[in-house]
Every structure is written in structure tokens, then in C-alpha cells.
Amino acid sequence: MVRINENFLKLKAGYLFPEIARRVNAFADQNPSAEIIKLGIGDVTEPLPAAIVAAMHSAVDELASRDTFHGYGPEQGYSFLRDAIAEHDYKGRGVNVSADEIFVSDGSKCDTGNILDILGTGNRIAITDPVYPVYVDTNVMAGNTGEADADGRYGDLVYLPVTEENGFVPDLPTEPVDVIYLCYPNNPTGTVASRETLQQWVDYAKQHNSLILFDAAYEAFVSDDNVPRSIYEIEGAREVAIEFRSFSKNVGFTGVRCAFTVVPKDLKVKISSGDEVALHQLWNRRQSTKFNGASYVVQKGAAAAYSSEGREQMKQLIDFYMTNARLLREGLEAVGIRVFGGVNAPYVWLKTPNDLSSWEFFDLLLEKGHLVGTPGSGFGASGEGYFRLSAFNSRKNVEAAIERFKTAIG
Ligand SMILES: *Cc1c(COP(=O)(O)O)cnc(C)c1O
């Protein structure tokens, strides 16, 4: 008799986005003339930078000829891309990461989930609350949690609240934890962690032999030089942290698919025999066995993001979204809303006015402004009373949305 992974049965049904869709559809049915603007979804809207499009076109042409055809590539990624990443994202910024510590993939969502393949069972897992749901659900699937309670909190997970009270930076856990997920710049709160904060976490991890899984998908949106863009800017991080990065948000690859994971060779874990094992070796084995590499065309496109043209076009794209974020912030502040984030990250996180719940505010914005955002409570119980707006949108929609804040909230 076949057995299934019954941990899947513990998963709460994907509630957030279906519920948003349900409410939006119900509203649209009753108000067919309303033009609804969606500021909810974390997907990019603008086309690919021209330098990347050109590189992908010419990569396709290479595949069209026997002499320049490429079949399977290295599972870890082509060296033209790994070298460019090491040079521009790390060495050029004075950070010690070498090309052979970089594993190119088809997305950070899969990497942050797949990483659990190389970890054992029984780890105590810490996540921030609110959080990117992938970290939670993949741990449920892996059997690292108990059942969910009425608020959707899973047993055995250590939730670290991030709220206005602690400046959206989690306090160190009061009980020892083995694995810590950190995402900065943060989705959903749009806030950042200072060098000092990250140093505290790295020191904690060293002291407790824990592992930090650092999601830096939004590092390109950091404009403040004092804000770290990589965990490896922090002393000691090479011994305790894995970093995840993605081309999804900086150059609009959400549909193209390319990302990478850094596993430093200094990252070693003591095993039951007392010996130390390098996680680099395990991840390399995992990827070579279960993954056959990201597509050649896509990796050529990603590498073009590091050409001088590509870097200039990426900067323009990020400036465009960050201007949206600034306009959203200012528009909300003008109607008396307290806003967070949106300075070094493409998300604006707001405190709902008049102590409305996240869903009450959702309904108010929809009914009075025909605007759709994401209720903070959907990212975790501590997100209750907050609300996320995304800067990934056209300027026209952002400007129209700001006008509508006035009628809806003002
Ligand atoms: C968008 C996003 C990613 C990127 O995921 P991909 O699979 O590379 O598209 C990773 N982490 C967070 C928190 C994100 O919001």
C-alpha cells in the first residue's frame, strides 16, 4: 500500500490570494463599471531590459546552429554567469564569495524550499512573523512542524514577531534554534536590517551552531550605503549562512526564471560521528542529482545584467519601481497613514487606520477606492493590523491609486 507524505495534510489551504480573488470578484460583479487597480501582487510589470533581450536573442541563435549548439550545461551553472556574479555582486563590493560557491538555479522559491533536502530532521526552525509563506510551508511539508492552531501558527515553529514595536527587526530567540530564516530587504514589510542587527544574528548562530538562511531577493533595491546587501558583508557569516538571490525582481525575471544560492566552503556542520561536513559538498551533490541546470538562454540573459549596459538598465528599472514606492509612501502619508518600508525595498507596509483589522481595511480600500492590496494578517498572525502595497506597477496605476487614497481614506 502506497503511503503519502501526511505532513502535507497539515498545510492550511492556500487562503490569502484565493480569498482576495473571491472578494475582488464579488465586488466586480456588483460594480461592473468600477476600474479596479491591483497593488497586491508581488510580480513585476515592466519589460526586460534591452541588453538582456539582445543577449537572449543571440543565445537562441547559437542554439540554432550545430557549431554553437548547447545541450546539458553544468548543474551548478555556466562559469560565464558564476564568474560575473562573483565579480560584480561580491568581489566588486569587497565581499569574499568565489564563483565555485555560487549555484545557479531556476528560482529562489525552489532553492529556499529545496535546501531542506540537505538538513536533517528534528531541527528547531525560527521564522519571522509576518513572513514569506514558502519558508513555513516547506518546513510543514518536511515534517519540521506540528499542526496549525486557529491563528494558523504551526506547532514547534519558533515565530519571531516583527512589528512597529521592535522596528520590524526580530529579537533574538529566547530558546535555542537551529535554523533561522531571515529576509532583508524584507517581503512583506519592505523594511531592512542594519549591519549591527545582522551581526547579532551571525554571532548568535556561531554561538548556538545554528544555520542562517538569508533571502536577499531584494538586495538590488537597497540605495542606502549603510544597509548590507549581502549577509557576507557581516564578519563570520561565511561560517553560518547560506544566501539566496534571484533575478526575478531586479531585472524582471519572474517569468524567465533564474536565481542563485551561495554556499560558502567555510560553512561546516558537526555530524553525529563528531566529524564536520561542509554544506557546500551536500548542496553540490543535491543539485547535481536532482537538477539539470538553468537554461543556457536564460543564463546568457542573466549574465547580460552585469554588462555595463545591463547594469545601467537594471538601475533604471529599479529607480522606476522605487519612485513608485516613494509616491505610494507620500500619498499615504498625505492622508494620515503611518507607513513603513518602501525606501530600500519595493513594498510599502502600512498600519491600518482606526485599528481596523487587515481584512477590514482591505474591504474599505476596495469599496471606496476600488484598490486591492494584501492584508498583513495573510503573512502571519503578527501582520494583523498591517497592510502591504507593492510598488511593482505602472506609473499610471500608482498615480491613480494615490488620488483614490484621498477618497477612500482621506
Ligand atoms: C520574489 C521573491 C523571491 C524570488 O523567487 P523566485 O523563485 O526567484 O522568483 C524570493 N524570496 C522572496 C521573499 C520573494 O519575495
> What spacing in Å lies between the alpha carbon of 134 and ligand 1's midpoint?
9
In the structure, how many helices (H) and strands (E) does the chain have?
11, 15
Rounded CA-CA distance 191/363 in Å is 25
pTM of the complete model:
0.97
What residue owns the CA closest to ligand 1's atom 14?
A: 217
Cell readout for 242 is 547560506
Rounded CA-CA distance 399/301 in Å is 32
Residue 147 has pLDDT above 90, yes or no: yes
Point out which residues pair with 213 in neighbouring strands: 181, 242
The predicted structure's pLDDT at residue 152: 87
Instruction: List alpha helices for 245-307, DSSP H.
Output: 279-290, 296-304
> What spacing in Å lies between the alpha carbon of 335 and ligand 1's midpoint?
31
Q: Is 297 in the pocket of ligand 1 (CB under 6 A)?
A: no
Sort strands 371-372 and 37-38 into parallel, antiparallel or unpaired: parallel
Q: Are 394 and 402 in contact (CB under 8 A)?
A: no
Q: Is 254 in the pocket of ligand 1 (CB under 6 A)?
A: yes
Rounded CA-CA distance 292/68 in Å is 20
What residue owns the CA closest to ligand 1's atom 11?
A: 217
Residue 41 has pLDDT above 80, yes or no: no
Which residue would you say has higher pLDDT here, 117 or 410? 117
Of all helices (H) and strands (E), which one includes residue 160?
A: strand 158-161
Rounded CA-CA distance 390/278 in Å is 38
> What spacing in Å lies between the alpha carbon of 217 and ligand 1's midpoint?
6
> What spacing in Å lies between the alpha carbon of 215 and ligand 1's midpoint?
8
Q: Tell which residue, 253, 265, 178, has the closest CA to residue 217.
A: 253
The whole-chain average pLDDT of the chain stands at: 96
> What number is the average pLDDT over the span 363-381?
96
Topology annotation, domain 13-47+309-409 = Aspartate Aminotransferase, domain 1 (3.90.1150)
Q: For a pocket test of ligand 1, which of 111, 248, 257, 349 has the largest count of ligand atoms closer than 8 A to its C-beta?
A: 248
The predicted structure's pLDDT at residue 18: 87
Cell readout for 286 is 543535491
Rounded CA-CA distance 71/154 in Å is 44
Give the 3-state secondary structure of residue 391.
Answer: coil
Point out which residues pair with 387 in neighbouring strands: 350, 375
Q: For a pocket test of ligand 1, which of 16, 114, 187 has the largest count of ligand atoms closer than 8 A to its C-beta?
A: 187
Q: For a pocket test of ligand 1, which of 246, 257, 379 has the largest count of ligand atoms closer than 8 A to its C-beta?
A: 246
Cα torsion through 194, 199, 204, 205, rounded to 10: 100
DSSP code per residue over 18-57: HHHHHHHHHHHHH-TT---EE-------SPPPHHHHHHHH
Give the position, in ligand 1's atom list, of the atom nearest the Cα of 254: 9
> What number is the average pLDDT over the span 122-132?
97
> What spacing in Å lies between the alpha carbon of 109 and ligand 1's midpoint?
5
> What spacing in Å lies between the alpha carbon of 218 and ligand 1's midpoint?
8
> What spacing in Å lies between the alpha carbon of 334 and ligand 1's midpoint?
31
Residue 330 has pLDDT above 80, yes or no: yes
Rounded CA-CA distance 280/103 in Å is 10
The predicted structure's pLDDT at residue 14: 72
| CA 50 to mean position of chain CA atoms | 25
Residue 410 has pLDDT above 80, yes or no: no
The predicted structure's pLDDT at residue 409: 87
Q: Is 132 in the pocket of ligand 1 (CB under 6 A)?
A: yes
At the top level of CATH, the class of 53-307 is: alpha beta
End-to-end CA distance of the chain: 62
User: Could you tell me the residue ranges of all domains in the chain?
Assistant: 13-47+309-409, 53-307
What is the edge-to-edge ordering of all strands in the sheet holding 386-390?
Answer: 338-341, 347-351, 386-390, 374-375
Q: Is 217 in the pocket of ligand 1 (CB under 6 A)?
A: yes
Please report, rounded to a whole number, the percentage of residues in the chain having pLDDT higher than 70: 100
pLDDT band at residue 189, thresholds of 50, 70 and 90?
very high
pLDDT band at residue 156, thresholds of 50, 70 and 90?
very high
- Burial of residue 373 (CB within 10 Å: 0-12, 13-18, 19+) is buried
> What spacing in Å lies between the alpha carbon of 114 and ligand 1's midpoint?
14
> What spacing in Å lies between the alpha carbon of 167 and ligand 1's midpoint?
23
- Burial of residue 132 (CB within 10 Å: 0-12, 13-18, 19+) is buried
DSSP state of 159: E
Rounded CA-CA distance 27/111 in Å is 37
The predicted structure's pLDDT at residue 317: 98
